[in-house]
Chain A
Amino acid sequence: MDKILVVDGITKEYPGRMAVSNVSFEVLRGSIHGFLGPNGAGKSTTMRMIAGLMPATSGTMTLFGETIHPEKLSLKNQIGLLPENAPLYLDMPVEKYLALVAKLHGVKKVKEQVEKVMSDLSLIEVRKRLIGNLSKGYKQRVGLAQAIVYDAPFLILDEPTNGLDPQSVVELREFIKKLAQEKTILFSSHVLPEVEQLCDQITIIHQGKIRASGDLKEIHRKFRQGLVLKVGILENEKLPDLSELGKYEITHEHIVGQEKQYDLVFENDLDCRSDLGRLILGKGLHLLTLQVESPELEDIFLHMTEQKK
């Protein structure tokens, strides 16, 4: 997959404050790229710079090989942005608002395009209503509709599911997956399982600096630092010495019902489950659980954003 967006060492400095510092990452064509970070990490600033709403103090950003700058109009129809606060005119009806956005972007068949987007996002029933009178969920859908109504190939969605009810979250997630079949999406969220579910690439930003970026599986692998195995035996049994399988450490031990579970980290990173199973069973113990443990994205996220403070 080729790189659609290349962010190279961008910095945004305000008087007396560095919002983002030397941020670099790449977004591949056709991917949903998760952009993670705690509040105030610099996510929105970075996304706004990529969307061409503000310039970087230094560094470069290219989209489809063209340098991004707020004054460059040629990229405006290529980027759709749903910012944290969607730019909604509360005194306008939904349909008129979307038609305005489509016209501003020079869409030829405005009526058809607006109709299609309203249908895709289930906005038909509220088409004549003023945006200000809609629920939070509908407003968010209108916000997303304005980002896609001119059919931009690259979408930036800043916490699109924030504040929505569970039903709307599921619907919106499904819609984003559908969008990703045709578009490339840079997506930020606080809901880490959601990112795991949707994204194949991620970038973690903290205090304005990139902590990790790349393929989600690769980041998982890098973070693991050794093979983690979960082993469960009966509560009254004792785990034998396993050092013949390699150097290991018990990182966690707890009881679940009648089972005692151990998290074992083997430094050699080799999957020794069959030998481990044989060894435990050979000692006459009852092996109840034996599995490879993958760290949750949440663990990685917390590790990246806490340890490096």
Chain B
Amino acid sequence: MIYILWKKEVESYFSSPLAYVLIGLFSIISGTFFFNLLVTYTDGIQAIPQHLAQEISFVEEVVLRLFANINFLFLIFIPLITMKLFSEEKRLETLDLYWLSPVREWQVVLAKGLAAFTLILSMLLMTVLFPLIIWGVGIRDFSLLGSSYLAVILNACCYISLGLFCSSLSGNQIIAGLLSILGIMFLWMLTWGGHLNSNYLVAEIFSYIGITSHFERILRGLIGTQDIIYYISFVFMFGFLSVKSLGRRNW
């Protein structure tokens, strides 16, 4: 059943120009980030003596910054993808088709989430060109590339689940999209708020609830159990809330 629903969603994405426009835009913007970071890095190492140039880490200056920027792009791109998932169907009353068939809410939520994830993966697939370009210009330092991908993928999962929940709340796409953007920004700000707080315990709590500290740790290859638990529980919690939100019709 989930496969049927997932396939319908993915076909719906790729039968409209939206998916191609998003993938194209994402590729152009992330490509521009990559190009600028690469130019800044090469200019930087050319401007200083060679023995000091080795001190400047390619991974630090290009790879990690690039993936941090990709995470930033998700602030706009993921709400754009998720905002219509339920709100559009609510407006057109097409969800009735699912509720008239032997389908459970969680199956619909999971299928839609997986379909959005598939589109995000298609976008990220375009960035695989970047390591190939680096390889082409003779740079062989690919450490932390895998963990960087893992970090943005895990963040994407969280943003998708948050976006799904926001979309399930409203029949208005714009409101759903804005709620998602605000939600993601709130997650970022929690970590920043934690840094600003002088109370150690409060700072730690904020830092744990916020997504940035987990993202940065995984980005640097420091994958801890607490981070994995955070991501899994985050996705489950918003998935669960989406299911409950859709189930409101049964109240």
> Do the beta carbons of A76 and B97 come within 8 Å of each other?
no
Q: Does B36 contact A (CB under 8 A)?
A: no
Cβ-defined contact, A54 with B93, below 8 A: no
Is B178's CB within 8 Å of the partner chain A?
Answer: no
Chain A residues closer than 8 Å to B8, beta-carbon distance: 100
The stretch of B68-76, B98-106, B151-159 in contact with A is B98-106
Q: Which residue of B lies closest to A75 (CB)?
A: B102
Given contacts A53-B249, A104-B4, contact A87 B101 (CB under 8 A): no
Given contacts A51-B100, A53-B249, A70-B250, contact A100 B12 (CB under 8 A): no
Minimum C-beta distance from A108 to chain B (A): 14
Do B16 and A91 touch (CB < 8 A)? yes
Q: Are A146 and B250 in contact (CB under 8 A)?
A: no
Q: Is A1 an interface residue (CB 8 A)?
A: no
| Given A71-B250, A91-B12, A85:B101 Cβ within 8 A | no
Q: Residue among A73, A90, A100 with the most chain B CB within 10 A?
A: A100
Are B102 and A52 in contact, CB atoms less than 8 angstroms apart? no
User: Contact string, A48-72, partner B, CB cutoff 8 A, digits 1/0?
Assistant: 0001111100000000000000110
Q: In the complex, which residues of chain A have a beta carbon less than 8 angstroms from the beta carbon of B104?
A: 73
Q: List CB contacts (< 8 Å) of A203-256 with chain B.
A: none
Q: List the A side residues contacting B97 at CB < 8 Å.
A: 87, 89, 101, 104, 146
CA distance A89 to B96 in the complex (A): 11
Is B197 at the interface (CB under 8 A from chain A)? no
- Answer whether residue B95 sits at the interface, using C-beta atoms and an 8 A cutoff: yes
> Which of chain A's residues has its CB closest to B100's CB?
A81
* Residues of chain B at interface, number, CB under 8 A: 23
Given contacts A51-B100, A103-B4, are A83 and B15 in contact (CB under 8 A)?
Answer: no
Measured CB to CB, the nearest residue on chain B to A69 is B250
Within 8 A of A (CB), among B136-183: none
Using Cβ atoms and an 8 Å threshold, which residues of chain A touch B94?
Answer: 87-89
Which residues of chain A come closer than 8 Å to B93, judged between CB atoms? 83, 85, 87
A113 at the interface (CB under 8 A from B): no
Residues of B that sit less than 8 Å from A by CB: 1, 4, 8, 11-12, 15-16, 92-104, 249-251
Beyond known contacts A52-B99, A54-B249, A81-B96: 17 more, CB 8 A cutoff: A52-B100, A53-B96, A53-B249, A55-B251, A74-B102, A76-B101, A79-B100, A83-B96, A85-B93, A87-B92, A91-B12, A91-B16, A101-B97, A101-B101, A104-B1, A104-B98, A104-B101
